[in-house]
Amino acid sequence: MARDDGADGACENWELTKDALLEDRTRRKASKRVLSFLTLSPQRAVVLLALLLALSFVLLMALTIGNIQRVSAVREELERAQLQDKQSQATAWHNLSKVQHTLDTQLSAELRAIHRRLLNVSQEVEDVQQKMAQCRAECGKELSSRVQALEGRDVLRPALQQLEELRKEQSHISTLLSTVLEETQNLTEMFCTRCPAGWQQFAKTCYYFSTEKKSWIEARAACSMLGAQLAIVNSELENKFLANHIMEIRAFWLGLSDMHREGDWQWLDGQALSLSFWRSGEPNNVGQHGEDCATVSSSGLWNDVTCTNPEAWICERSC
C-alpha cells in the first residue's frame, strides 16, 4: 500500500509539472505574438496608421456633415423668421401709410373748410367796419346838427351829456371791432392751407421729401431751386413729424453740417446746434474723407455722413 501511495503522489507531481510547462509555453507563445505585433514591419505600420487616419477622417467628416446640416437648418429657420419679419414690417408700413394718407386728406378738408369760414368772417367784419364808418359819419353829422340846434337853449347841458355818452358808446364799439379784426387775423395766420402739391404741412411750414438721391451740396441747390432750404429741426415734435413721413429704411439730408470747423455743427441759417437727436455713438466722423453732413432716418435719430454720399433730402419753406 505504501508503494501505491508513492506512485499516486509521483503521478500527481508529474501532472502538476506538465501543467506548469504547458502554461509556461502558452505564455511564451503569447509573448512572442505580442512582440511580433509590436515589431511589425514599417509597411504594415504605415498601412495600419493609414487605416486609422482614414477611419478618423471618416468620423470627422460625418460629424462635420451633421453639424453643417444642423447649421443649415438653423440658418433656414433664421432666414424664414427674417422674411416673416420683413413682411410684417412692410405690412405695417403700408397700413401706416394708408392711415397717414387718410388723416392728411381729412385734415386738409377740415382746414379748407376752416379757411373758407375765416374768409367769410373776414368779409363780414369788413362789411361791419364799412357800416360803422358810414354810421360814424352819419352820427357825427346828426350830432353836430343836434348840437347846433340845441345851442342857445336851456337844455344844452343834457344834450352835451347825451353827446358824450354817444361818443363813449362809439369808442367802445370801435374797440370791439378792432379786437375782432385782430383775433380774425391771428386765426388766419394759425392755419396754413397754401402748401404746394406734393408738400407736407407741419404748423406754418411746408416740407418736401425727395424720391431721388443727391450729394448734400446738390440737395441744398435743389431746395434753393424750389424757393426752400434743407430742413432745420427746431423742436422734438418737428423731428417726430419728419421721422413719421420717412416710410422706408433710408436716410434724408438735413440742413446741418460742420464743414466750416470739425465738431461745430450749425444749421444753414447760421444757428448753432442746441437741440439734437444723434444716434448712440454719433457723430463719429469716420472714414478717409470724414463725415461732415447730417441725415435723419425713420427712427428719428441722426447720423453724420460723408457729404458726397448720394442720399434723399428734405426741403422746407414757409406757407
240: CATH: 3.10.100.10
State how far the Cα of 272 lies from the Cα of 256, in Å rounded to an integer.
9
Closest CA to 291 of 306, 311, 303, 310: 306
Last residue of a domain, one of 135, 168, 190: 190
| Residue 232 sits in the same domain as residue 253 | yes
> Residues 270-315: pLDDT tens digits?
999 999 999 999 999 988 888 999 999 999 999 999 999 999 999 9
Last residue of a domain, one of 190, 211, 244: 190
State how far the Cα of 130 lies from the Cα of 134, in Å rounded to an integer.
6
| Residue 178 sits in the same domain as residue 212 | no
| Residue 126 sits in the same domain as residue 227 | no
| Residue 205 sits in the same domain as residue 309 | yes
In this prediction, residues 95-108 reach a mean pLDDT of 66
**Whole-number pLDDT of residue 70:** 87
Residue 247 resides in a domain: yes
Last residue of a domain, one of 190, 211, 242: 190
| Residue 295 sits in the same domain as residue 211 | yes
The structural domain count of the chain equals 3
Residue 56 resides in a domain: no
How many Cβ atoms sit within 10 Å of the Cβ of residue 173? 14
| Residue 135 sits in the same domain as residue 166 | yes
Q: What residue numbers bound the domain in which 22 lies? A: 1-35
| Residue 128 sits in the same domain as residue 173 | yes
In this prediction, residues 26-45 reach a mean pLDDT of 64
Say whether pLDDT at 9 is over 70. Answer: no
State how far the Cα of 187 lies from the Cα of 122, in Å rounded to an integer.
10
**Whole-number pLDDT of residue 190:** 54
Residue 312 resides in a domain: yes
Q: pTM of the entire structure?
A: 0.44
| Residue 142 sits in the same domain as residue 248 | no
Residue 232 resides in a domain: yes
Residue 28 resides in a domain: yes
Residue 98 resides in a domain: no
Residue 82 resides in a domain: no
How many Cβ atoms sit within 10 Å of the Cβ of residue 212? 10
| Residue 230 sits in the same domain as residue 290 | yes
| Residue 156 sits in the same domain as residue 214 | no
Q: Which residues contact 304 (CB under 8 A, 6 or more apart)?
A: 258, 282, 283, 284, 285, 291, 292, 293, 294
Closest CA to 273 of 297, 314, 243, 304: 304
| Residue 245 sits in the same domain as residue 304 | yes
Residue 125 resides in a domain: yes
> Residues 184-219: pLDDT tens digits?
555 545 555 578 999 999 989 999 999 999 999 999
| Residue 285 sits in the same domain as residue 186 | no
State how far the Cα of 50 lies from the Cα of 48, in Å rounded to an integer.
5
Q: Select, from the ranges 4-8, 13-17, 66-70, 156-160, the one with the highest average predicted confidence (pLDDT).
A: 66-70
